[in-house]
């Protein structure tokens, strides 16, 4: 009876979340988990704090967002469904359904030192969707060695970077630093061709990044976190000790489908090697 009960408990646990079949000879370096309403977490023994939580996705957004109320105008409500998670916890599949009927299917895949995002956004309806962009909020307090909460929201900026004038620039050294917006603090760098009126309602930098990569060094400087997306809407330093590479949707006509991709790198602190990979993964970001 005890053996039968244990077997039943094991079967119930295995059925608690849908899983796709994937086998692995050893534990992967990076794994994934998902908890509702929308927390995607990257796990890895090599990571400071052992994990990186992501508010995924935090919001789908309308146009004219720069000077508008975030709740009543900008955000399009959505629900998320966990479709499956692989047996080795390296592949998570999700489906978001926006209030206007748009569906976004996500395949999130972890490798030894990266996480890839492949999205398929589809409008099955008869009216155009207002979804212009979306954001995933990647929380980096543990990675950079700072508390998750606290009054000094800019304390982790010396660990954060983006590319200006051909080199990675620490955010605490970037000048000018915009300080006025509908909501403060934070800093937004708009992507190529993105209307300024459609950006995040945090302070907008007048500086133009060299490319679409944003990142941070770990607390002990042994690792680099970096992220990019295509098409990219903006790079964003936020108020949850977070960094964003927000992606652009650009609206969806009735029946239209768009493909979006992104990547998180979690690699040793070798910027030259990282840039070789980034250029290969996102050649669009280097076309003039």
Q: What is the pLDDT of residues 71-90, one digit of tens each?
A: 999 999 999 999 999 999 99
User: Predicted confidence band at 211 (pLDDT cuts at 50, 70, 90)?
Assistant: very high
Rounded CA gap, 95 and 43, in Å?
A: 22
Token output for 39:
């927390």
Token output for 163:
């590319």
Q: Provide the pLDDT for residue 28.
A: 85
User: Predicted confidence band at 147 (pLDDT cuts at 50, 70, 90)?
Assistant: confident
Model confidence at 3: pLDDT above 50: no
The residue-averaged pLDDT of 200-228 equals 97
Token output for 107:
């395949």
Question: CA 128, 133, 135: angle at the middle one, nearest 5?
Answer: 140
Residue-wise pLDDT for 250-288, tens only, equals 999 999 999 999 999 999 999 999 999 999 999 999 976
Domains in the chain (CATH in brackets) are: 27-286 (2.70.98)
DSSP of 173-230: G-SS----SSS-S-EEEEPTT--GGGS-SSPBPS---SSS-EEEE-TTSSEEEEEEEE
**SS3 state of residue 143:** helix
Average pLDDT for the chain: 92
How many Cβ atoms sit within 10 Å of the Cβ of residue 135? 23
Residue-wise pLDDT for 26-48, tens only, equals 778 999 999 999 999 999 999 99
Q: Are 31 and 89 in contact (CB under 8 A)?
A: yes
User: Predicted confidence band at 149 (pLDDT cuts at 50, 70, 90)?
Assistant: confident
181-199 b/e with 16+ CB inside 10 Å = b? beeeebbbbbbeebeeebb
Model confidence at 24: pLDDT above 50: no
- Predicted TM-score of the model (pTM): 0.90
Query: What number of CA atoms fall less than 13 Å from residue 98's CA on the CB side?
Result: 28
């Amino acid at each position: 009876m005890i053996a039968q009960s244990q077997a039943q408990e094991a079967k119930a646990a295995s059925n608690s979340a849908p899983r796709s079949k994937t086998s692995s000879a050893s534990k992967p370096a990076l794994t994934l988990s998902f908890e509702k309403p929308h927390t995607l977490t990257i796990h890895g023994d090599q990571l400071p704090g052992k994990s990186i939580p992501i508010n995924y996705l935090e919001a789908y957004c309308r146009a004219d967002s720069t000077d508008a109320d975030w709740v009543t105008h900008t955000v399009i409500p959505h629900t998320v469904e966990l479709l499956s998670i692989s047996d080795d916890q390296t592949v998570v599949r999700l489906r978001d359904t926006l209030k206007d009927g748009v569906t976004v299917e996500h395949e999130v895949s972890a490798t030894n030192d990266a996480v890839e995002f492949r999205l398929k956004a589809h409008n099955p309806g008869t009216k155009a969707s207002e979804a212009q962009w979306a954001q995933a909020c990647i929380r980096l307090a543990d990675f950079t060695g700072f508390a998750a909460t606290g009054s000094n929201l800019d304390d982790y900026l010396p660990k954060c970077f983006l590319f200006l004038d051909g080199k990675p620039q620490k955010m605490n050294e970037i000048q000018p630093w915009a300080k006025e917006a509908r909501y403060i603090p934070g800093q937004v760098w708009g992507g190529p061709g993105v209307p300024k009126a459609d950006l995040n309602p945090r302070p907008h930098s007048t500086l133009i990044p060299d490319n679409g990569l944003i990142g941070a060094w770990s607390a002990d400087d042994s690792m680099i976190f970096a992220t990019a997306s295509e098409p990219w809407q903006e790079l964003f330093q936020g108020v949850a000790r977070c960094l964003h590479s927000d992606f652009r949707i650009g609206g969806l006509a009735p029946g239209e489908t768009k493909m979006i991709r992104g990547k998180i790198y979690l690699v040793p602190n070798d910027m030259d090697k990282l840039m070789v990979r980034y250029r290969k993964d996102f050649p669009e970001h280097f076309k003039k």
